[in-house]
Amino acid sequence: MPSSTDVSRRTGGRGVDAVVFDERAIAERVSELGAEITDYYPDGDLLVLGLLKGCFVFLPDLVRHIERPLHVDFLVVASYGHRMESSGEVRLLYDPEVDLRGKHVLLVEDIIDSGSTLARLARLLKGRKPESLEICTFLHKRLAEALDPDARFVGFDAPTDFLVGYGLDHAENFRHLPFVASIKG
């Protein structure tokens, strides 16, 4: 675990309550996820589609552990703004023009909480006729009612606290942390 001095230095002493997942646990689990994904997709065209901005740390670490050919692209959505809970409104800010037909699409998310973002994106992506659509999430709070599809690949089950670090933010702060921490509300 990072020391309290390291946490304070990296956060400017602002609002971090406790470290939930440290760097070592994250690195080990991301390596395991890469192996699971490699085994799941033995052949075919694989497109790893990352949801920005949250996945920008997780996705590159993950794809370096997937031992097969793949392509990477991104989607940009907005649903939080400066709040600590989803607004329920999902806005698609960037939509790649790649043709999904016949491709295995792995949608990579930083965290699943309400599931509203993923539900909308899954419907949109399924309409583009990929060979398959699966979800990989770094963290899953297990609060979503009925995701279709649910996440096939999960880094960690997460507490319901508001979490930051390893790409997750609050009002664009804390993304740079190499660990995941809860913050004070």
Q: Check the CA dihedral 116-30-75-103 and report its sign.
A: negative
Rg from Cα positions in the chain? 16
Question: Which two tokens mark 49?
Answer: 């589609």
Looking up tokens 């793949």, which residue turns up?
70
Question: Which two tokens mark 67?
Answer: 């031992």
- List the catalytic residue out of 113, 148, 150, 169: 113
For this structure, is 43 an active site residue?
no
| Nearest alpha-carbon partner for 80 in 108, 53, 107, 119 | 53
Cβ density class 110-145: b for 16+ within 10 Å, e for less: bbbbebbbbbbbbeebeeeebeebbbbbbbbbeebe
Positions marked catalytic: 113
